[in-house]
Amino acid sequence: MHATNDCLFNNEFIQAQIQKSLSKTIIYDGSVDKAELERNIISYYEKKFRAFTEEHFQYDFIDLFCGAGGLSVGFEHEGFRPIIAVDKDLSALLTYRFNRPWLSEENLIHDDIRELVKKDIFPHVPVIVGGPPCQGFSVANKQKKENDERNDLYKFYVHAVKQSQPKVFLMENVEGILKLYDKIKCDFENIGYIVCEPLILSPKDFGFPQSRKRAFILGINDKYKNIVDELYSVFKISVLSKITGTKYTLWDAISDLPELEAKTMKNATNVESKRWGYTIAGMSVTSTPYSRLINEGIPDEHPLLNHRSKYNNERDIQIYRLLKPGEKSDAESIQDINPYKNRANIFRDKFDKLIADEPCKAITAHMYYDCNMYIHPYQARGLTPREAARVQGFPDDYFFLGSPNEWYRQIGNAVSPLIARILAHGLKNVLKRMKADD
What string of pLDDT tens digits covers the 438 residues of the chain? 444 344 456 788 999 999 999 999 999 999 999 999 999 999 999 998 887 777 789 999 999 999 999 999 999 999 999 999 999 999 999 999 999 988 888 899 997 767 776 778 899 999 999 998 755 554 444 444 445 455 567 888 999 999 999 999 999 999 998 998 999 999 999 999 999 999 999 999 999 999 999 999 999 999 999 999 999 999 999 999 999 988 999 999 999 999 999 999 999 999 999 999 999 999 999 889 999 999 998 988 999 999 999 999 999 999 999 999 999 998 999 999 988 776 655 566 789 999 999 999 999 999 998 999 999 999 999 999 999 999 999 999 999 999 999 999 999 999 999 999 999 999 999 999 999 988
Alpha helices in 249-288 (DSSP H): 250-254
Q: Which residue, among 435, 408, 397, 348, has the nearest Cα to 41 in the 3D structure?
A: 397
pLDDT at res. 150: 52
CA–CA dist 427, 434 (Å, integer): 10
What does DSSP assign to residue 76?
A: H
pTM tops 0.85, yes or no: yes
For the 5-246+417-437 domain, the top CATH level (class) is alpha beta
Q: What burial letters (b/e) apply to 397-436, b meaning 16+ CB within 10 Å? A: bbbbbbebbbbbbbbbbbbbbbbbbbbbbbbbbbbebbee
Looking at residue 33, its pLDDT comes to 94
pLDDT at position 6, please? 45
The span from the CA of 65 to the CA of 130, in Å, is 6
Residue-level pLDDT at 156: 86
CB-based burial label for 305 (10 Å; 0-12, 13-18, 19+) = buried
Residues 6+ apart with CB under 8 A from 329: 338, 340, 341, 344, 347, 348, 349, 350, 351, 352
**The pLDDT value given to residue 5:** 41
Q: What phi and psi, each to the nearest 5 degrees, are found at residue 188?
A: -75, -35
Per-residue confidence (pLDDT) for residue 4, from 0 to 100: 39
CATH 3.90.120.10 corresponds to the domain 250-413: yes
Is 134 among the catalytic positions?
A: yes
pLDDT computed for residue 412 by the predictor:
96
Q: 392: closest CA among 253, 190, 234, 284?
A: 253
Please give the pLDDT value at position 143. Answer: 46
Q: What is the pLDDT of residue 22?
A: 96
Q: Which member of 66, 134, 196, 360 is catalytic?
A: 134
Vertex 372: Cα angle to 143 and 356 (nearest 5): 120
* Coil, helix or strand at residue 263: strand
Per DSSP, 414 falls in state S
Helix (H, G, I), strand (E, B) or coil at 114: helix
- Whole-number pLDDT of residue 380: 98
pLDDT of res. 384: 98
Looking at residue 342, its pLDDT comes to: 65
b/e map of 74-110 (b: 16 or more CB within 10 Å)? bbbbbebbbbbbbbbbebbbbbbbbbbbbbeeebbbe
Q: Would you state the pLDDT for residue 286?
A: 86
Burial class from Cβ neighbours inside 10 Å (0-12, 13-18, 19+) for residue 231 reads buried
Other C-beta atoms closer than 10 Å to the C-beta of 192 total 14
Residue extent(s) of CATH 3.90.120.10 domains in the chain: 250-413
Indicate where the chain has its CATH 3.40.50.150 domain(s): 5-246+417-437
Encode 163-227 in three state secondary structure: HHCCCEEEEEECHHHHHHHHHHHHHHHCCCEEECCCEEECHHHHCCCECCCEEEEEEEEHHHHHH
Alpha carbons 184 and 132: distance in angstroms, whole number: 12
